[in-house]
């Protein structure tokens, strides 16, 4: 008897190596504008971007405000005469071409799909996410893909998961598991939705008491025994 029948996977840094994709996309975009990407600029961009996405998760700002202000804020701080919105569009194009997978992701998915219903639940820009998932070959192995931009709600909102559950249909919440790397988005989202959670934690980060983690793994292959 399978413990879980429905598996909800986060995309970035759970299946897709977003850190590697982001690094490559940033490099190519800055090169396209003949603007050297110094280490201090990259560090500051990461800080600005992280803070904006956290505000988005809390419902304080829109997705559009995240993506269309981050480079503008960076350029203003560093006195760079570039248009942040235009730069963002180029960056999204480059990011959409990046689809490096997390180690063992494809092998694990191919095994799990034989006995489980697999879905992707992700925050982000729809066109970019669909492009990356298609180019990586992952998309064909999932029954559906739910991107926050299309859903109208975002992880960790309960409404986001209610929408997903309605679309999935005959779903047993007691046999549903969400797998993701983000405590504030994936694990909190699972807690809000009343389903079991699996924290993918390859960097061995410390967990706070703010979240209930049902399972914790450091390697995706551990899922094969877990579910």
Q: How do residues 111-150 score in pLDDT, each as one tens digit?
A: 999 999 999 999 988 999 999 999 999 999 999 999 999 9
Annotated catalytic residue 10: yes
Give residue 72's pLDDT band: very low, low, confident or very high (50, 70, 90): very high
Same domain, 48 and 68: yes
Region 90-109: mean pLDDT is 94
Same domain, 139 and 189: yes
Same domain, 176 and 143: yes
pTM of the entire structure?
0.89
Q: How many domains does the chain have?
A: 2
Does residue 194 belong to any structural domain of this protein? yes
| Tokens linked to 117 | 């219903």
Task: State the Cα–Cα distance between residues 156 and 159, nearest whole angstrom.
Answer: 9
Task: State the Cα–Cα distance between residues 177 and 65, nearest whole angstrom.
Answer: 31
Same domain, 86 and 108: no
Region 177-197: mean pLDDT is 97
Does residue 1 belong to any structural domain of this protein? no
With a cut of 60, say whether residue 29 has pLDDT above it. Answer: yes
- Ramachandran assignment for 79, one of left (phi > 0), alpha (psi -120 to 50 degrees), beta (any other): left
Does residue 41 belong to any structural domain of this protein? yes
Burial 59-94, CB ≥16 within 10 A → b, else e = eeeebeebbebbbbbbbeeeeeeeebeebbebbbbb
Same domain, 43 and 10: no
Same domain, 28 and 91: yes
Does residue 164 belong to any structural domain of this protein? yes
Can you give the CATH number for the domain in which 61 is found? Answer: 1.10.150.240
Phi, psi torsion values for 189, nearest 5 degrees = -60, -45
Write down the catalytic residue from 10, 17, 117, 186.
Answer: 10
Domain boundary among 62, 81, 96: 96
Domain residue limits at 160? 6-16+100-226
Domain boundary among 50, 75, 96: 96
With a cut of 60, say whether residue 1 has pLDDT above it. Answer: no
Does residue 48 belong to any structural domain of this protein? yes
Same domain, 81 and 177: no
Can you give the CATH number for the domain in which 199 is found? Answer: 3.40.50.1000
Q: Quote the percentage of the chain above a pLDDT of 70.
A: 100
Same domain, 125 and 148: yes
Task: State the Cα–Cα distance between residues 193 and 187, nearest whole angstrom.
Answer: 10
Same domain, 216 and 154: yes
Average pLDDT of the residues of the chain = 95
Same domain, 67 and 168: no
């Amino acid at each position: 008897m399978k413990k879980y029948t429905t598996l909800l996977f986060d995309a970035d840094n759970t299946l897709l190596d977003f850190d590697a994709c982001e690094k490559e996309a940033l490099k190519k975009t800055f090169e396209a504008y003949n603007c050297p990407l110094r280490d201090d600029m990259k560090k500051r961009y990461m800080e600005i971007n992280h803070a904006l996405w956290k505000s988005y998760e809390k419902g304080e700002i829109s997705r559009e405000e995240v993506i269309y202000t981050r480079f503008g804020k960076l350029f203003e701080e560093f006195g760079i005469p570039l248009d942040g919105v235009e730069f963002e569009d180029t960056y999204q194009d480059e990011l959409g071409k990046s689809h490096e997978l997390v180690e063992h992701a494809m092998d694990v998915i191919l095994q799990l799909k034989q006995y489980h219903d697999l879905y992707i639940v992700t925050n982000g820009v729809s066109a970019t996410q669909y492009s990356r998932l298609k180019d990586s070959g992952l998309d064909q192995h999932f029954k559906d893909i739910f991107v926050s931009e299309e859903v109208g709600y975002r992880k960790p909102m309960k409404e986001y998961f209610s929408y997903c559950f309605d679309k999935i249909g005959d779903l047993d919440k007691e046999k549903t598991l969400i797998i993701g790397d983000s405590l504030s988005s994936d694990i909190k989202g699972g807690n809000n939705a009343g389903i079991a959670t699996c924290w993918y934690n390859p960097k061995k980060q410390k967990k706070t008491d703010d979240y209930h983690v049902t399972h914790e793994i450091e390697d995706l292959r551990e899922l094969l025994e877990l579910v």
